[in-house]
Structure 1
Amino acid sequence: MVTPDQEETTPKGPRSPAENAELALLLEVAGTPKPGNVDRERDLEELWFEHFLAGAVGSRRGLKRAEAGAPVGAAFETAVAGMANQRGGNTQFGCLLLLVPLVRTAAAEGSVRPALATNTVEATTVEDAAGFYRAFDHVDVFVEDPPAALEPLDVRRGAAAIPALEERGVTLYDVMEASVPGDDIAREWVTGFDRSFRAAQWLESLEAQRPATDRVAQVFLRLLGERPDTLIASKHGEAIAQEVSDCAAELAGVDAFRTDRERVDTFADDLCERGINPGTTADITAAGIFIALERGGLEV
């Protein structure tokens, strides 16, 4: 039996991949300001900071399943079901679609690298695709209408689409590949998590004495300025997505986050008032945080 005194003197080891993934979700939403997204200072009309905290904690069981070697689809569905156990609805669906295979990779391989993550996602199966589709039964996720030929595989059908998946032999990697270029989460799957790893490098390059949440917000702004957000493009059109990206690039280029925080706050408030949410960029930011935590390049 371990006494309380012994517990206090027992050396604490590093966080597990699942723990780092949960921490990544918490750090992502705590990063402030993240223009257009929920952060410590901004709630959206029906989606609040507390919902994201609850979603991160709720996803733990699915992340633990991924760490233990469960199939990607099953672990993802479990994570989404737990995430959805709060009143706000969809908080971190896209984050989890990136984090679950990264956690599985880190746990299985002892490290997380682009080639290893690619091996994980390319090995997904039809049953993994079925788990992904079942996840849509747990929470409402914004998805554009598919082409008529793909209507039987519309993810919004949830489990009802699984017979069509099985008949066609569609794997989860196939689903992601077919979703490019309109979905940048899917793009991460087929490009070796390119932007996620780049976000990790940026996080690791920023001054360690600054709060991690400041660094997270700055990297989010840089990612948004690098490439228009596909969620914005889907909801508001490509012109608005480009406008937002151009503004973020200007602010990131002069490092306004540090030199003129008021400009970034004004940009953040404007996007929130207009209902423009760069959610895909936030998802990729979370994946970058996880990678940096796993590599020891981001200490908290």
Structure 2
Amino acid sequence: MNPSYVSKCAQIASVLEVSGHPKPGNVHRTQNFPDMVFEDFLLSGIAIGESMEKSARKGFKYKSKTEKWDKIGLGKMILEAVRETDHWVANNTNLGIVMLLTPISVVAGMSEDETVNWDVFRDKIDQLIRSTTSEDAVNLYQAINIADAGGMGEQDDLDVANESSLQKLRDDNVNMFRVLEMSSAWDKLSYELTHKMPVTFEIGYPVFQRVKSEKGINEATVQTFLTILSRVPDTLISRKFTDAKAGEVSARAQAILEEGGILTRKGTSIVGKFDQELIKGGLNPGTTADFTASSIMVAYLDGYREYKAKVH
């Protein structure tokens, strides 16, 4: 795929995700947090464009050289996107999104066919992450520290906040896949990246694609968010509260979907109340928002054939 098209899909996904209204428990177009506002997320979504285009170009360069995928520098691409974001906003708005969208961008750059075989696409994402090096892991740790996001990759002997961990990653040749794999038992985003992105491709993308064609973009965004939340208890809520609390929030999302979610008048009313309940309780399904963004990106990548037809 054209790298410029890939970067636009990443930017579109980022700004549509935060614009979803009312996306329960998150910043959206009518709701800010004390430490970050709607515009921060818009800035972040635009800021990653160059890094995503560069990632797609790396994918194109190495598409036929699988034995050299370790040279793509996935961790470096993630770090560059986080650094660029940090220049424009003061808080961590998009680390999880960047971690998901960067490998998608790389593999999209490898894809020359107008119609994508998503099973092959997912296999390539898996191979890409498995091909990473200890330097990729070091760069990921640095990105996490810049974003000031605890939790991902933490172990007693490989704590992201511990400077000695970086050298230990190099000394023990621990690559990025292994770091994520160590976290995957409790971190859904790490699990996603080490298991061919099942939430993105099997849950989020199909829902967004279907609802967008039937109802519209905002409905698709919110319904995708609710669907993911109902099936995958949110890591950020688990970390800040408990797994049980995250399970309660997911059950509530499922109950709302049974009333139609954002697609019915009754469901829409309940979604608005659910949004405020989560805000008052300090319950922020941030990982669900990340998965929503990756799902939207895949849906827009799926429109590449139509894009090429119009451009050419």
Q: Is the pair's TM-score, using the shorter chain for normalization, greater than 0.5?
A: yes
Matches within 5 A, 1:86-125: 86-110=88-112, 111=116, 113-125=121-133
Are 1:188 and 2:184 an aligned pair? no
Query: Taking structure 1 as reference, are residues 145 and 202 closer, same or farther at Cα in structure 2, changes over 3 Å only?
Result: closer
- Picking from 77, 80, 83, the partner of 1:78 is 80
1:252 to 257, 270, 273: 257
Give the whole-Å Cα distance in 1 for the aligned partners of 2:57 and 2:4: 14
Aligned position for 1:21: 10
The 5-angstrom pairing of residues 81-230 of structure 1 reads: 81-110=83-112, 111=116, 113-143=121-151, 146=154, 150-157=155-162, 160-198=164-202, 199-208=204-213, 210-230=215-235
Q: Choose from 277, 287, 298 the match for 2:294.
A: 287
Q: Which residue in 1 is equivalent to 2:62? A: none
Partner secondary structure for residue 136 of structure 1: helix
1:15 to partner: Cα distance: 5.5
Q: Identify the range of structure 1 (53-62 vs 35-44) with the bigger mean alpha-carbon deviation.
A: 53-62
In the alignment, residue 143 of structure 1 is paired with which amino acid? G
Which residue in the other structure is 1:10 paired with? none
* One-letter amino acid of the structure 1 residue matched with residue 15 of structure 2: L
Q: Residue 174 of structure 1: CA displacement?
A: 0.5
| Aligned mates of 2:153, 2:46 — CA distance in 1 | 31
Partner Cα distance (2:90, 2:263) in 1:
32
Q: CA 1:145–1:66 in 2, change beyond 3 Å: closer, same or farther? A: closer
**Are positions 1:61 and 2:50 aligned together?**
yes
Q: CA 1:207/1:46 → structure 2, altered by over 3 Å: closer, same or farther?
A: closer
CA distance in 1, matches of 2:83, 2:91: 11
The percent of aligned pairs where both chains have the same amino acid is: 29
Higher mean alpha-carbon deviation, 280-289 vs 84-93, is at: 84-93
Paired letter, 1:221: L
Structure 1, 34-43 or 56-65: larger mean CA deviation: 56-65
| Amino acid across the alignment from 2:199 | R
Q: Aligned partners of 2:295 and 2:55: how far apart in 1?
A: 18
For the 8 Å contact 2:207–2:223, the answer to whether it is kept is no
Encode CA deviations 1:235-267: one digit per residue, 9 max, x unaligned: 111121111110001101221312221110010
- Taking the aligned partners of 1:258 and 1:15, their CA distance within structure 2 comes to 33
In the TM superposition, residue 211 of structure 1 has moved relative to its aligned partner by: 2.6
> Can you give the 5+ residue segments of structure 2 that lack an aligned partner in the other structure?
59-71, 308-312
Residue 209 of structure 2 contacts residue 220 of structure 2 at CA under 8 Å; is this kept in 1?
Answer: no
Tell me which protein shows more helix as a share of its residues: 2
Q: Is contact 1:203–1:219 with CA below 8 Å preserved after alignment?
A: yes
Structure 1 vs Structure 2 CA RMSD:
2.2
Count how many residue pairs are aligned between Structure 1 and Structure 2.
Answer: 284
Verify the 8 A CA contact 2:152 2:187 in the aligned structure 1. Answer: no
Q: Match for 1:142: what amino acid?
A: G
> Aligned to 1:234, what secondary structure does the other structure show?
helix
Q: Distance in 2 between matches of 1:86 and 1:275?
A: 26
> Is the Cα contact below 8 Å between 2:278 and 2:284 reproduced in 1?
yes
Letter in 2 for 1:135: A
User: What is the deviation of 1:220?
Assistant: 0.3
